[in-house]
Amino acid sequence: MKFAKMHGAGNDYVYVDGFQETVRDPAALSRKVSDRHFGIGSDGLVLILPSSVADLRMRIFNPDGSEAEMCGNGIRCVAKYAHDHGLVAREEISVETGAGVLTVHLTVGDRGRVGRVRVDMGRPRLTRGEIPVTGPPEEQIIGAELQVLDRTFHITCVSMGNPHCVIFVDNVEEFPVAKYGPPLESNDLFPNRTNVEFVEIISPREVRQRTWERGTGETLACGTGASAVTVAGVLNGLTERRILNHLPGGDLEMEWLEDGHVLMTGPAVQVFEGVYHPQ
């Protein structure tokens, strides 16, 4: 099976061209290829597939085999792969995801290769029923208290097609993400589990983020998480609508437009291509 290894701000996946390859059990394959010692090594598996409603379709599988609805860093790499490998020739691409059809704008460099990608991430979902979070379905969760282990957190919940729980902290670099990420991810509030963002406010236009991803663990970047953080910062009166988000793997430029759409701009990098021999 041919594959490409790509990353967006350090959030790395194994990408398989479903126009050429057939993957019969993507959950099992993701568990194998994601292993950083016995596989290729990645934050999961992304399939690039034909679509009847868009230029192409992406499916994302976590290292534990669970399927995610959407990946902001992943969709940038899907768009780069599609352009650079001749699947789509235009600089604007529509991609079908578990969060709906999203529009992606490409910046093509001198060598005809895509370097940066802007994604219209769509409108955030803010009610318990949409995210989902247990409780009254029309209620929003903005700065609500939640007791986890020995701490009381103030959480803001947002869906960008997948669920996020955003928590603002004083010093994110020293925060014990590995301690609090798992119990927050699997808290009874979240019937589908949740991604968790721990965020430090540097200024109204700048934040620093670490992410505990559902089904994966801590990753170097999370695009849907950065989108959720952008929305949560505004809802809590902490940030402006346009911010620079520093993640461990790189920076993302974020903006929550007045029409409700969230725009994300960041890098997409192909590291190498190879052939995987399933065992």
Residue 158: what pLDDT?
98
Q: Structural domains in the chain? A: 2-121+266-274 (3.10.310.10), 144-261 (3.10.310.10)
Percent residues over pLDDT 90 in the chain: 98
Write out the chain in H/E/C secondary structure. CEEEEEEECCEEEEEEECCCCCCCCHHHHHHHHHCCCCCCCCCCEEEEECCCCCCEEEEEECCCCCEECCCHHHHHHHHHHHHHCCCCCCCEEEEEECCEEEEEEEEECCCCCEEEEEEECCCCECECCCCCCCCCCCCECCCEEEEECCEEEEEEEEECCCEEEEEECCCHHHCCHHHHHHHHHCCCCCCCCCEEEEEEEEECCEEEEEEEECCCEEECCCHHHHHHHHHHHHHCCCCCCEEEEEECCEEEEEEECCCCCEEEEEECEEEEEEECCCC
CB of 229 closer than 8 Å to CB of 209: yes
**253 falls in which pLDDT band (50, 70, 90)?**
very high
pTM, rounded to two decimals: 0.94
What is the rounded average pLDDT for all residues in the chain? 97
**111 falls in which pLDDT band (50, 70, 90)?**
confident
Mean pLDDT of all residues in 191-211: 98
CA triple 31-34-36, angle to 5 deg? 125
C-alpha to C-alpha distance for 10 and 207, rounded to whole angstroms = 18
Q: What is the pLDDT of residues 128-148, one digit of tens each?
A: 999 999 999 999 999 999 999
Mean pLDDT of all residues in 32-39: 96
C-alpha to C-alpha distance for 96 and 134, rounded to whole angstroms = 28
pLDDT at 18 over 80: yes
Contact residues for 274 (Cβ-Cβ < 8 A; gap 6+): 2, 3, 5, 40
Residues 47-68 as b/e (b if ≥16 CB within 10 A, e otherwise) read: bbbeeeebbbbbbbbbbebbeb
User: Whose structure tokens read 């986890």?
Assistant: 148
Q: What is the pLDDT of residues 222-241, one digit of tens each?
A: 999 999 999 999 999 999 99
| Residues annotated catalytic, as ranges | 71, 222
CB of 242 closer than 8 Å to CB of 204: no
Residue 53: what pLDDT?
98
**249 falls in which pLDDT band (50, 70, 90)?**
very high
**278 falls in which pLDDT band (50, 70, 90)?**
confident
| CB-CB neighbours of 35 under 10 Å | 13
pLDDT at 279 over 80: no
Which structure tokens are listed for 77? 């790499």
CB of 80 closer than 8 Å to CB of 118: no
User: Among 37, 35, 33, which residue's Cα sits nearest to residue 45?
Assistant: 33
pLDDT at 23 over 90: yes
Q: What separation in angstroms does the CA of 226 have from each of 94, 147, 155, 209, 268? A: 21, 24, 15, 8, 16
pLDDT at 110 over 90: no
Residue 108's Cβ-count burial label (10 Å; 0-12, 13-18, 19+) is middle
Q: What is the pLDDT of residues 143-172, one digit of tens each?
A: 999 999 999 999 999 999 999 999 999 999
Residue 193: what pLDDT?
98
Amino acid found at 254: M
